């Protein structure tokens, strides 16, 4: 009898293992076929056909706004019967521009008036030289935010460089502050004229949906920093949970400022059944709470309706890095996007994950410690916690990177990708310098060019 039960136990355990393996292969298969389909869609769009030379729609985008508008622009021209090619600036060479008659550039600005990460090579290799472009007719849509000193800095630089090369303007550059709808409407109007479609183009952007705030947990009571909350949201009523990928963002409208959406990285994956966020409560100098963070972390009661939409963030998805070892570096609420990546990878059985996470004090600021530590004990994660204020001299993630320089080089030579998420000030700049020291200028540039160094910094 005892033998029988034991036999059954072995049988059940064996079946569980087989089921788990089937599930893992199915998830991996689905991801591979999704990527194949995305590549096919871009290739189909860019197929050169007989007839007039195609227009070029080129974009440079850090978090996907410019990329989304580029696709909408290309679709609009296509609908007007204009053959169109869509390319990121990372894929453009000087010779491509010399063979183009008409081009629309949609570019955002990062850092302090800098190009987005994946356009830095274009800025250096192409825009630092002169290039005769008399044949080219172009326009620029520059995305930015008026609160920055170098408003639309990269769009302006690109525009004046094109002008200096003899290219001719189709219509003057349009600058967009914070997705300002009036400026975007101007761009749409110009496109309608160009495409000759007569009626104003429909962008078909997804609209905001009503979700419910179903859980909220204070993550750092007693912290020296501002309060941070773990928040869970699910669609209201019968609405199905939409799909998203690790790395994607949500946009949220606060009831008192329904014009200007705020963006947060998603900290969960669809199989969690809910969107998780990690939100720091902002407080202005006058003591008032930040509009959206105050709404999510304080004013909205549990079960409050939240206007939300999910936005793809292609630059920070796993994409071609899905099967590589991964070094994830972040601080503060930047852990959100990194946690989603870890969840997705661990669900797929990928164990080569190295997280370097920084906050102030271990006693109060070790977000998601239980979960992260249990991944570590199951050998699914290597983790370095870096608490800046737990010793007399401050220590940050970039210091930890320097201490582990040899291991970083080993991981990179084994094909690892690096994902950085968190604050631009201090952290991202410091990490960039440390990586430059560890891998050399050329080494880091190669990672950028091949999409193995990705940043979601703010």
Ligand X SMILES: Cc1cc2nc3c(=O)[nH]c(=O)nc-3n(C[C@H](O)[C@H](O)[C@H](O)COP(=O)(O)O)c2cc1C
Q: Which is nearer to ligand X, 220 or 315 (CB)?
A: 315
Is residue 73 within the footprint of ligand X (CB under 6 A)?
no
**Shortest Å distance, C-beta 424 to ligand X:** 4
**Shortest Å distance, C-beta 429 to ligand X:** 10
**Shortest Å distance, C-beta 20 to ligand X:** 38
Among 37-45, 130-138, 140-148, 378-386, the segment contacting ligand X (CB under 6 A): 140-148
Is residue 321 within the footprint of ligand X (CB under 6 A)?
no
Is residue 108 within the footprint of ligand X (CB under 6 A)?
yes
Class of residue 118 by CB neighbours under 10 A (exposed 0-12, middle 13-18, buried 19+): buried
Could you give the C-alpha distances from 114 to 158, 294, 319, in angstroms and in order? 11, 30, 25
**Shortest Å distance, C-beta 58 to ligand X:** 13
Is residue 113 within the footprint of ligand X (CB under 6 A)?
yes
Q: Which is nearer to ligand X, 82 or 86 (CB)?
A: 86
Is residue 77 within the footprint of ligand X (CB under 6 A)?
no
Residues 157-196 that bind ligand X (CB under 6 A): none
Is residue 412 within the footprint of ligand X (CB under 6 A)?
no
Is residue 62 within the footprint of ligand X (CB under 6 A)?
yes
**Shortest Å distance, C-beta 171 to ligand X:** 20
Could you give the C-alpha distances from 254 to 213, 265, 290, 292, 309, in angstroms and in order? 13, 17, 10, 5, 12
Q: Which is nearer to ligand X, 176 or 355 (CB)?
A: 176
Is residue 66 within the footprint of ligand X (CB under 6 A)?
yes
Q: Nearest residue by C-beta to ligand X?
A: 144
Is residue 334 within the footprint of ligand X (CB under 6 A)?
no
Is residue 429 within the footprint of ligand X (CB under 6 A)?
no
CB half-sphere exposure, 282, CA atoms < 13 A: 8
DSSP strands (E only) in 136-237: 137-144, 168-169, 174-177, 209-218, 228-235
Q: Which is nearer to ligand X, 111 or 337 (CB)?
A: 111
Cα separation, 371 vs 191, in Å, equals 49
Is residue 61 within the footprint of ligand X (CB under 6 A)?
yes
Q: How many residues bind ligand X (CB under 6 A)?
A: 24
Cα separation, 207 vs 270, in Å, equals 19
325: three-class secondary structure by DSSP: coil
Among 146-154, 241-249, 317-325, 439-447, the segment contacting ligand X (CB under 6 A): 146-154
Is residue 333 within the footprint of ligand X (CB under 6 A)?
no
Report DSSP letters for 375-444, one per residue.
HHHTTS-EEEEEETTSSSS---HHHHHHHTHHHHHHHHHTT-EEEEEE-IIIIIHHHHHHHHHHHHHHHH
Is residue 443 within the footprint of ligand X (CB under 6 A)?
no
The DSSP H or E segment spanning 10 is helix 2-45
Q: Which of 287, 289, 211 is nearest to 257 (CA)?
A: 289
Cα separation, 192 vs 195, in Å, equals 5
Among 150-158, 182-190, 337-345, 391-399, the segment contacting ligand X (CB under 6 A): 150-158
Could you count the other beta carbons within 10 Å of the beta carbon of residue 89? 25
Task: Give backbone dihedrals phi and psi of 81, rounded to 5 degrees, phi first.
Answer: 85, 15
| Chain residues that interact with ligand X, rule: CB under 6 A | 61-66, 108-113, 116, 143-145, 148, 150-153, 424, 457-458
């Amino acid at each position: 009898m005892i033998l029988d039960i034991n036999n059954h136990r072995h049988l059940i355990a064996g079946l569980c293992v087989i089921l788990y393996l089937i599930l893992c292969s199915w998830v991996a298969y689905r991801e591979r076929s999704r990527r194949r389909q995305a590549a096919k869609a871009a290739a189909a769009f860019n197929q050169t056909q007989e007839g007039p030379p195609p227009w070029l729609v080129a974009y440079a985008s850090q978090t996907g706004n410019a990329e989304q508008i580029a696709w909408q622009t290309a679709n609009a021209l296509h609908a007007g019967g204009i053959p169109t090619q869509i390319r990121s600036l990372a894929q453009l060479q000087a010779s491509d521009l010399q063979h183009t008659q008409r081009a629309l550039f949609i570019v955002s600005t990062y850092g302090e008036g800098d190009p987005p990460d994946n356009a830095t090579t274009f800025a250096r290799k192409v825009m630092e030289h002169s290039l005769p472009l008399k044949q080219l007719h172009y326009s620029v849509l520059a995305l930015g935010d008026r609160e920055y000193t170098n408003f639309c800095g990269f769009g302006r630089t690109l525009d004046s460089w094109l002008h200096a090369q003899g290219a001719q303007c189709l219509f003057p550059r349009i600058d967009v502050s914070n997705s300002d709808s009036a400026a975007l409407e101007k761009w749409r109007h110009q496109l309608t004229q160009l495409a000759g479609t007569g009626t104003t183009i429909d962008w078909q952007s997804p609209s905001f949906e009503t979700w419910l705030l179903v859980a909220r947990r204070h993550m750092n009571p007693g912290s020296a920093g501002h309060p941070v909350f773990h928040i869970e949201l699910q669609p209201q009523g019968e609405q199905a949970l939409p799909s998203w990928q690790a790395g994607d963002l949500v946009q949220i409208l606060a009831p008192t400022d329904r014009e200007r959406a705020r963006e947060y990285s998603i900290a969960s994956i669809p199989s969690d059944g809910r969107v998780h966020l990690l939100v720091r409560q902002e407080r202005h100098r006058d003591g008032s709470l930040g509009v959206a963070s105050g709404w999510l972390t304080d004013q909205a009661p549990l079960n409050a309706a939240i206007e939300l939409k999910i936005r793809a963030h292609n630059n920070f998805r796993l994409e071609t890095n899905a099967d590589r070892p991964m070094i994830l570096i972040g601080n503060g609420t930047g852990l959100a996007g990194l946690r989603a990546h870890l969840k997705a990878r661990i669900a797929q059985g990928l164990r080569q994950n190295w997280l370097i996470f920084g906050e102030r004090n271990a006693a109060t600021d070790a977000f998601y410690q239980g979960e992260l530590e249990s991944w570590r004990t199951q050998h699914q994660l290597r983790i370095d916690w870096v608490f800046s204020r737990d010793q007399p001299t401050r220590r940050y993630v970039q210091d930890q990177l320097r201490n582990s320089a040899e291991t970083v080089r080993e991981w990179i030579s084994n094909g690892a990708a690096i994902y950085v998420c968190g604050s631009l000030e201090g952290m991202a700049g410091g990490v960039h310098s440390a990586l430059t020291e560890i891998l050399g200028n050329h080494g880091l540039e190669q990672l950028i060019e091949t999409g193995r160094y990705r940043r979601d910094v703010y």
